[in-house]
Amino acid sequence: MTQSDPHRQPDDAIAEGARARSQGRPRDACPYPLDSPERRAWLEGYDGSPADRAPDQPLDNG
């Protein structure tokens, strides 16, 4: 399990989240505390999309 390092950059957490997903780990395996910037970054990496971006709307087929 990764230790939370106050000097670690959020970019590292993004890479950790992406790696966790590629290794088949569950989303709730995030090692960072709730409401921390590192947790948001880890989840961005895991989900593959920035947290501050709204989900894409479905395309109209008509």
**Segments in 1-62 forming alpha helices (H):** 10-22, 37-47
**Residue in 24, 30, 26 with CA at minimum distance from that of residue 10:** 30
Q: Band the pLDDT of 1: cuts 50, 70, 90.
A: very low
| Residue 23 in domain | yes
The tally of domains found in the chain comes to 1
| Residue 53 in domain | no
Range of the domain at 29: 10-47
| Residue 52 in domain | no
What's the predicted TM-score (pTM) here?
A: 0.67
Mean of pLDDT over the chain: 82
pLDDT at 61 over 80: no
- Name the 3-class secondary structure at 4: coil
Give the pLDDT of residue 7: 60
Dihedral (Cα; 28, 54, 49, 21), 10-degree rounding: 20
40 to each of 5, 23, 43, 50, how far by Cα in Å?
15, 19, 5, 9
